[in-house]
A and B are shown apart, each in its own frame.
Chain A
Amino acid sequence: MKSRIRSIVLFFIFSYCSCKKVIQVNLNDAAPQIVIFGEVTDLPGPYQVSITKTVNFSATNDFPPVSGAQVTITDDKGLIDSLSETAPGIYNTHTFWQGVPGNTYTLSVLTSGKTYTAISEMPQAVPLDSISFQENQNFSRKNTISVVPYFQDPPGIVNYYQFAEFVNDTPLNKTYIMNDRLSDGKYFNLPLYDDSVHIYAGDLVTLYMYSINADVYNYLNEMQQISNSAQSLTPANPDTNLSNGALGIFTVHTVVSKQRIYD
């Protein structure tokens, strides 16, 4: 057995790549649907409910407001507030009340003869101890800065968290969520990953942490899954707490926050 392997010349043309291009897709039009977003927190009001309609995919991002709706928010402790339309499609609560953890709020919207309702309970607040910054390297070698929130998850109860990040008072258009399904009672120190560079030295970063309920968490979770076509096999409209086929969500949550300058 003789080994006589010739010298190998490999012409290495490794043009394998991932490439993308914008394409035109012929999408059918759909009849406009009602979209409701309402939010009640434990911070002082007024709170807002917005009502708009869907548009076709090819249209510009101008969503027609729905005016003249009858919007009320009630709770299980006897609150009744009939909201006032302050701008087309924007309905505000009145300041005689403030959201209280543990209360269950009901949103009711009557428009064009149809009533849409949602029931949502405000969870107890979980304190946010502090935030720090973590430098990440991602595959494209951009060094991004992630904010790391530190907080103690209350043991024995199910908790869901949402985070909103502001850099120099500008909100980042990105929603982060966490739950304690695999972390009950743990001290959390998980970074909020972002694949774009948003934070530079000297920036003032404000992190808001919301305690949200299961319905809202599931809604946001499905929303994140379907927004990633690489992962999602069969997107569908996220399940919402709104009745009667309305799109959107009625979220009722607590708010805590921390600020820190990145240096």
Chain B
Amino acid sequence: MRPLSAFGLILLLTGWLPLFSQTKYSISGTVIDKTSGESLIGATVILIEQPRSGVSSNAYGFYSVSAPAGSYNMVVSFTGYLSDTVKIVLNRNLLLPVALNTDHTELTEVVVSAQKKDDNVTKPLMGVQKLSMNEIRNIPVLFGEKDILKTIQLLPGIKSAGDGNSGFYVRGGTTDQNLILLDEATVYNASHLLGFFSTFNSDAIKDVTVYKGGMPAEYGGRLSSVVDVKMNDGNNRNYLVSGGIGLIASRLNVEGPIVKDEGSFIVSARRTYADLFLKLSRDTSINRNKLYFYDLNAKANYKIDKNNRIYLSGYFGRDVLGFSNLFGIQWGNSTATARWNHVFNSRLFSNTSFIYSNYNYLINVNLTSNNINITSKIEDFSLKEDLQYYANSENKINFGFNIIHHTISPGIADASPGSSFNSFSLQKKYSLESAAYISHEWSPLAKLHIDYGLRLTDFSVFGPGNFYSYDQNGNTINTSTYSSGQIVKTYFNPEPRLSASYLLNSLSSLKISYTRNIQNLHLLSNSNSSNPTDLWIPSSNNVKPEIADQESIGYYRNFNDNKYEFSSEVYYKTMQNQIDYKNGAQLAANENVESQLLFGIGRAYGWELFFKKKYGKLTGWVGYTLSRTELKIDGINNGNWYPARQDITHDISVVGIYQASKKWTISATWVYSTGNAVTFPNGKYDVNGQILFYYTQRNAYRMPPYHRLDLGATLVTRKTKKTERSWTFSIYNAYDRDNPYFIQFQQDPNDASRTQAVQYSLFKIIPSVTYNFKF
């Protein structure tokens, strides 16, 4: 779909909207936190007299409900806040901002019972997990650095890719099949320090939502999941400074009003300093080593008038790793988002975003007479338009479009004249990813909610450049040269989305969903850990878009006044055009990298159980997943199905947070999972004095199971309305389990007649402490 036809579709849709009855009046506005002025995402707004009128505030806190003229009680509620009930006489369209408070004072009326704490049951969305920053704050993680990506891996269906890896597998998908968005900008490499930490500084984060399936039509581009991370807007009432000092990293966060109640800013920075300890060494080979990262989040917003608000947000992060003066690599993401919220009228909300995203790395090698610098980059410019039309209490329409221009520069190498290498510049790859979508949230019956939609994705690769076709052995058989802007290949794909929920009674529901997802950017990585140098490639004449179809069905039940929630979901997913690699594939610095790939299909299915205690002194959850993920790739395992690396049969996570007193909060997490599917040798042989291992079947073995207990405690030493001091203690891997990182088969160094298997582990028990302040 060309951009123009996307516009055409929008026009067509807006023309059709008035068809919905407009005899009712509507109430609209923004839900905010009373103390900070932060907009609240996902707050529930409902008119008690119109049980089907309930809506959630959107990503900017906006809500709109409709009803015939009359008197109503409108209840606004949000987890962690006290509900607010507003008496309304509705005889015209009303603009009604709502401020929720965590304090009891100043409320017109306190509704203690959780009026709408049963969203999980009533909403049609499936496979969606939302974590509050409060939960994330209290869960212990490595080195005490709060980490949203590590924390979501404690949810069923989301599995860690292993120690020292920020990557995660969602329902059998690989790590590159997760769309990670920070204020709508794609984050291409979400890991710091080769995966020990994620790029998200939790101080700067307001909201995290994970979609494992049943993605709304506004999201697209990756096969397995969407992790939608939204940054804080900043306090628009008071200036605040907060921060933390930890063993290996420190954080500082500054926020405040630009114009009181009208605009605010927030700046969060973080830096690790593991390498500062290296500097203490007198040994020049050590004190010249570098190993650190920093990142910076900044955001500002300003309310122009009651119908217009603008937001600017940005992220910049950098990792630096250097070995003496000989070798250095640095990499990082930068993103920028400019947004304009516009309220056309009390029913139609629009957001327009201009988004920039960049991931790059730079390697320099300085060996005697062999200096070489290599740079690589992926850069996106994007325009996104999202509109929400709150037609009436039974109908809501979401529609919009998104155009992304991708430029991928796989590698430019600059070698010194005396070097053993030639300078080279791999061809840049240009592509345009356009999508238009529409979805309809519809409640035809009081007990039935349906959210169905269609996303149309068009992906075009264009010149300038040479494009190759290959024979079976990977030899180039044809080279076609394209001029600038000339289209090489276009893929057009419809992505239907459907989810529906049926309320069995006021406490339980049944949900089904079907989702098709398309992925046109693929990450090539054939090593154990995530590397900053892993290469993204676009779909092309050789690489077809990856396609996933997922069906799921689930049962949801709440207990004990919604204090407990339980869900059980079953999913089945088929995947097309999955990518694997030939033996000895040369992925780095290779113009013909597409000749190194193999293609096939995949299937994943599983059963996820989730039980959560939401309120009380003790909160937390237990998640269990039983699953299977298999691949069938031409040229691997004789073309037979084999378990994918991310095939993990059992996966258990237990999370408990206990508020022991006003001062102490204690938490613990325990995870267990079946070892990854791996290929081990079935024999060995000798070739000219070297022992080699003989392999028969792909991924026929299992790593030893992974399990780990983490403990955490937070001590609040001082808490007033404005200031806070606290200590966070944590013990990672509390019972010192040697979890396998990899297993090496090798000659026994002590007995030349023997071979042995050696297991390497990454982390022993790691205690840490962090001091946090706020004033």
Which residues of A does B touch, CB under 8 Å?
Answer: 1-6, 8, 10-25, 27-30, 32-33, 35, 37, 39, 50, 52-57, 59-63, 134, 137, 139, 141, 171, 173, 175, 181-191, 218, 221-223, 225-239, 247-249
Contact = CB atoms under 8 A, between A and B. Distances in A.
Contacts of B694: 30, 33, 54, 237, 247
Which residue among A15, A39, A234 has the maximum number of chain B CB atoms within 10 Å of its CB?
A234
Nearest to A237: B695
Nearest to A11: B769
A21 B738 contact: yes
B682 A1 contact: no
Given A23-B758, A239-B584, A175 B527 contact: no
Q: Which 10 A-B pairs have the closest CB atoms?
A: A222-B584, A30-B682, A54-B683, A229-B744, A54-B685, A35-B685, A137-B285, A30-B683, A60-B753, A23-B759
Contacts of A3: 775
B583 A28 contact: no
Interface stretch (B13-21, B102-110, B414-422, B654-662): B414-422
Contacts of A189: 369-370, 418, 420
10 contacts: A2-B775, A5-B773, A14-B247, A19-B738, A22-B757, A52-B685, A61-B752, A229-B743, A238-B583, A247-B685
B79 interface: no
Contacts of A13: 767
Interface string B558-599: 000000000000000000000000011010010000000000
A72 to B, nearest CB: 20
Contacts of A230: 528, 742, 744, 760
B287 interface: no
B229 to A, nearest CB: 27
Contacts of A18: 741, 760-762
A182 B424 contact: yes
B687 A182 contact: no
Interface in B689-704: 689-696, 698-701, 704
Given A15-B766, A20-B760, A239-B583, A187 B420 contact: yes
B419 A234 contact: no
B285 A16 contact: no
A57 B686 contact: no
A55 to B, nearest CB: 6
Contacts of B725: 6
B757 A23 contact: yes
Interface size class of B (residues with CB under 8 A): 35 or more
A234 B742 contact: no
A229 B583 contact: no
Contacts of A53: 685
B420 to A, nearest CB: 5
A180 to B, nearest CB: 9
B481 interface: no
Contact of A232 (B527, B701, B747): B527
Given A18-B762, A61-B752, A231-B528, A37 B422 contact: no
Given A52-B686, A56-B683, 7 more contacts: A21-B738, A30-B696, A53-B685, A56-B684, A189-B418, A222-B584, A229-B742
Contact of A229 (B745, B747, B753, B763): B745
Interface string B732-764: 000000100111111100001111111111111
Interface in B207-241: 239, 241
A226 B693 contact: yes
Contacts of A16: 763-764, 766
B760 A19 contact: yes
Nearest to A35: B685
Nearest to B642: A234
A221 B424 CA distance: 22
B682 A15 contact: no
B685 A55 contact: yes
Contacts of A137: 285, 324
A182 B589 contact: yes
B688 interface: yes
Contacts of A8: 245, 771
B764 A183 contact: no
Interface string B374-398: 0000000000000000000000000
A182 B422 contact: yes
A159 B695 CA distance: 30
A1 B773 CA distance: 13
A3 B323 CA distance: 37
A15 B421 CA distance: 41
Contacts of A223: 687, 690, 692
A55 B744 CA distance: 18
Contacts of B285: 137, 141
Contacts of A21: 738, 758-759, 761
B757 A24 contact: yes
A145 to B, nearest CB: 14
B679 interface: yes
Contacts of A61: 684, 686, 691, 747, 752-755
Given A11-B769, A23-B757, A137-B285, A186 B421 contact: yes
B368 interface: yes
Contacts of A226: 693
B680 A27 contact: yes
A30 B679 CA distance: 14
Nearest to A36: B687
Nearest to A153: B420
B283, B424, B589, B684, most chain A CB atoms within 10 A: B684
B266 interface: no
Contacts of A222: 583-584
Nearest to B529: A230
A191 B367 contact: yes
Residue picked from B324, B419, B681, B765, most chain A C-beta under 10 Å = B681
A57 B247 contact: no
B526 interface: yes
A182 B760 contact: no
Nearest to B324: A137
A19 B247 contact: no
B645 interface: yes
A230 to B, nearest CB: 5
Q: Which of B688, B690, B765, B766 has the most CB of A within 10 A?
A: B688
Contacts of B584: 218, 221-222, 225, 238-239
B286 interface: yes
B686 A35 contact: yes
A236 B698 contact: yes
A190 B67 CA distance: 77
A183 B747 CA distance: 34
Given A23-B759, A25-B757, A235-B693, A4 B683 contact: no
Q: With a 10 A CB-CB cut-off, give which of A3, A188, A229 has the most chain B CB atoms.
A: A229
B413 interface: yes
A218 B765 CA distance: 42
A235 B755 CA distance: 17
A238 B690 CA distance: 14
B164 to A, nearest CB: 10
Given A4-B775, A15-B766, A233 B645 contact: yes
A62 B753 contact: yes
B367 to A, nearest CB: 7
A156 to B, nearest CB: 13
A235 B685 contact: no
A29 B683 contact: yes
A57 B695 contact: no
B681 A234 contact: no
A138 B311 CA distance: 49
Contacts of B696: 28, 30
A28 B682 contact: yes
Nearest to A28: B682
Contacts of A249: 687
